[in-house]
Amino acid sequence: MTTLMETRTEQFTLDPDNWEELRALGHRMLDDMFQHMETLREQPAWQPLPLSVTSALNESLPIQGQAAEEVYEEFLTNVLPYTSGNRHPRAWGWVRGNGTPLAMLADMLASGINAHLGGGQQAPVLVEQQVLAWMTEAMGMPASSSGILTSGGTMANLIGLAVARHAKAGFDVRKEGLQGSHPQMLIYGSLETHMWARKSMEFLGMGRRSLRQIPVDNEHRIVVAELEKQIEADRAAGHQPIAVIANAGTVNTGAIDDIEALVAVCRRENLWLHVDGAFGALLKLSPLYAPLVRGIEQADSLAFDMHKWMYLPFGIGCVLFRDSAEHSTAFATPANYLESAQRGLLAGGMGFSDLGIELTRSFNALKLWMSLKTHGVETYAALIEQNIAQVNHLSSLVDEHADLERMAPQRINVLCFRYAPQAFANDQKKLNALNREIVMRMQESGQFIVSGTVLNGEYAIRVANTNHRSRIEDFDDLAAAVLALGEELALGGEE
Ligand SMILES: *Cc1c(COP(=O)(O)O)cnc(C)c1O
């Protein structure tokens, strides 16, 4: 039997035989992508997947290759038009950033270099350390803090809790795990804490039942007195409270907990304070809005995303730790094949591998480094302020119109509202169904991407603006579209 290698006439690589051809294709891709980005406003924000696409993307395993040009044509036909749409100027669903053309180029360079960001003696490590130092400064954390870039907020938050668990367990949790007989360790956060916390508790072996979800006030902020009561009751029951999660911008309504009060509770009770600032922490960049998140700089760990309110392409998040030793002792894992040295490529050790879960990591820092240097923090601050001003505008349209109702206080870039005509005033079921249908129709129209949530049993249309492409007129159009759809559906008796 001949080996597959023998079917090739010479030794070969995955580099092109003809660099000129690939270069031409690459230039075409770049031109197409710029053209695509330049004309986003004229394209649908989103469209449902047609059958042609679901079947085209359900092929059998390719045994033999085909021309890259052909595969690229398939990308143009079957992938590019059918994405999650968050790059569109009128996309405000969930919390999703747009991405930027410059950061796209940086991602290409990073992928081209293909540096291994486990650590070692190389400039890309310095670039990641540089952006971590910048974010530490921007967040007001001490310069001695440590941190690591992650693929997103969930990973950043998970790493934060993992370090908290290690620091506060009172025994060597890395060695023993949670299978011995120890008091039950508990972590606290409000009912509005994002679901990453439940996932993380499960993943850390602590179990969901060890996440105490504390009631919120009518601004959707944790009730600190309830937290204190719960900690006391849990201690009395022989449990071991270890950490509190503070929300700097909840996903539902953008609520910001009283972080300074939580800092005080944690210091007094000897608990770890972890801040989930997935998007809200970025308010720190704006001198105007930084006071809203006062206290996050005192966190033991602070997690946030750059792929939301810094508009970078997915996936890039960050977690910072006040105590760098606590950070590294939670993860550092020596291995013979990674022995650090005074000289050579591994001089300085596998710094990043010792600060998180992953060993091989991509050069994600480059897009942040290039973007921050090119735009400057001022540009981000101005964009964050622009996003809030736009939502303030939408909020006032909602407040002005008798048939629109605000569903939660709006302080920053998140607004929950609904279409609620007088005729349906007391019919929650009807209002829920009507507003759910409005959200579906808006998405399917390709005109707007908004999402929904449920607040106290009532369905709300939810707008979260982390969009650097939106203009204030877009929000006038959104309000008008909600009203038009609402009226149409109400007349048609949509159920
Ligand atoms: C988005 C979000 C997360 C999760 O971050 P990912 O980057 O999506 O993993 C956590 N907390 C809040 C408040 C968020 O908005």
Q: pLDDT tens across 128-148, in order?
A: 999 999 999 999 999 999 999
Question: Greater confidence, 120 or 8?
Answer: 120
On average, the pLDDT of the chain sits at: 96
In the structure encoding, which two tokens stand for residue 340, read together? 């650090």
CA-CA distances (angstroms) from residue 379 to 37, 308, 385? 20, 15, 10
Does 277 contact ligand 1 (Cβ within 6 A)?
A: no
Does 276 contact ligand 1 (Cβ within 6 A)?
A: yes
How sure is the predictor about 75, in pLDDT bands with cuts at 50, 70 and 90? very high
pLDDT at 4 over 90: no
pLDDT at 201 over 90: yes
Atom 5 of ligand 1, nearest CA residue = 153
Does 452 contact ligand 1 (Cβ within 6 A)?
A: no
Distance 272 CA to ligand 1 centre (A): 20
Average pLDDT over residues 60-66: 96
Does 92 contact ligand 1 (Cβ within 6 A)?
A: no
How sure is the predictor about 104, in pLDDT bands with cuts at 50, 70 and 90? very high
Pick from 323, 448, 297, 310: which is nearest to 367 by CA? 310
Q: What is the rounded distance in angstroms from the CA atom of residue 388 to the CA atom of residue 466?
A: 9
pLDDT recorded at residue 380: 98
pLDDT recorded at residue 38: 97
Does 317 contact ligand 1 (Cβ within 6 A)?
A: yes
pLDDT recorded at residue 135: 98
According to DSSP, the residues that pair with 187 across neighbouring strands are 211, 243
According to DSSP, the residues that pair with 256 across neighbouring strands are 248
Ligand 1 atom closest to 307 (CA): 7
Residue ranges per structural domain of the chain: 115-362, 375-492
Kindly provide the residue ranges of all beta strands, DSSP E only, lying in 184-307, ordered along the sequence: 185-190, 211-214, 240-247, 272-276, 301-305
According to DSSP, the residues that pair with 419 across neighbouring strands are 404
Atom 12 of ligand 1, nearest CA residue = 278
Q: What is the rounded distance in angstroms from the CA atom of residue 387 to the CA atom of residue 249?
A: 14
Ligand 1 atom closest to 157 (CA): 10
Does 95 contact ligand 1 (Cβ within 6 A)?
A: yes
Distance 275 CA to ligand 1 centre (A): 12
pLDDT at 441 over 60: yes
pLDDT at 384 over 50: yes
Domain 375-492 has CATH 3.40.50.1220: no
Pocket test for ligand 1, best of 251, 357, 453 (most atoms within 8 A of CB): 251
Percent of the chain with pLDDT over 70: 99
Distance 304 CA to ligand 1 centre (A): 8
Question: Greater confidence, 495 or 462?
Answer: 462
pLDDT recorded at residue 92: 98
Does 192 contact ligand 1 (Cβ within 6 A)?
A: no
Pocket test for ligand 1, best of 94, 149, 194, 198 (most atoms within 8 A of CB): 194
pLDDT recorded at residue 2: 65
pLDDT recorded at residue 1: 62
pLDDT at 293 over 60: yes
pLDDT recorded at residue 208: 96
pLDDT recorded at residue 120: 92
Average pLDDT over residues 73-84: 98
Percent of the chain with pLDDT over 90: 91
Q: What is the rounded distance in angstroms from the CA atom of residue 446 to the CA atom of residue 430?
A: 25
pLDDT at 494 over 50: no
Per-residue DSSP letter, 220: S
Residue 198 CB burial class (10 angstroms; 0-12, 13-18, ≥19):
middle
Distance 284 CA to ligand 1 centre (A): 17
Does 314 contact ligand 1 (Cβ within 6 A)?
A: no
Helix (H) or strand (E) holding 443: helix 428-445
Paired sense of beta strands 404-406 and 146-150, if any: unpaired
Q: What is the pTM of this model?
A: 0.97
CA-CA distances (angstroms) from residue 385 to 67, 95, 101, 374? 47, 16, 21, 19
Does 309 contact ligand 1 (Cβ within 6 A)?
A: no
Average pLDDT over residues 355-379: 97
Q: Do you know the residue count of the chain?
A: 495
Does 251 contact ligand 1 (Cβ within 6 A)?
A: yes
pLDDT at 329 over 80: yes
Does 196 contact ligand 1 (Cβ within 6 A)?
A: yes
pLDDT recorded at residue 493: 58
- Span of 155-159, 284-288, 342-346, 481-485 with lowest mean pLDDT: 342-346
Instruction: Please work out, in degrees rounded to the nearest 5, the angle formed at the alpha carbon of residue 70 by the alpha carbons of 66 and 72.
Output: 120
Distance 277 CA to ligand 1 centre (A): 8
According to DSSP, the residues that pair with 211 across neighbouring strands are 187
CA torsion through residues 460, 316, 255, 273, sign: positive
Angle of the 365-400 helix axis to the 472-492 helix axis, nearest 10:
50
What is the side-by-side strand order in the sheet with 272-276?
Answer: 146-150, 317-321, 301-305, 272-276, 240-247, 185-190, 211-214
Which CATH number, 3.30.230.70, 3.30.70.80, 3.40.50.150, 3.40.640.10, labels domain 115-362? 3.40.640.10
For residue 147, the SS3 value is strand
Q: What is the rounded distance in angstroms from the CA atom of residue 79 to the CA atom of residue 53?
A: 8
Does 300 contact ligand 1 (Cβ within 6 A)?
A: no
Question: Does 375-492 match 115-362 at the fold level?
Answer: no
Q: What is the rounded distance in angstroms from the CA atom of residue 125 to the CA atom of residue 142?
A: 21
Does 257 contact ligand 1 (Cβ within 6 A)?
A: no
Largest CA distance in the chain: 80
In the structure encoding, which two tokens stand for residue 449, read together? 């991407």
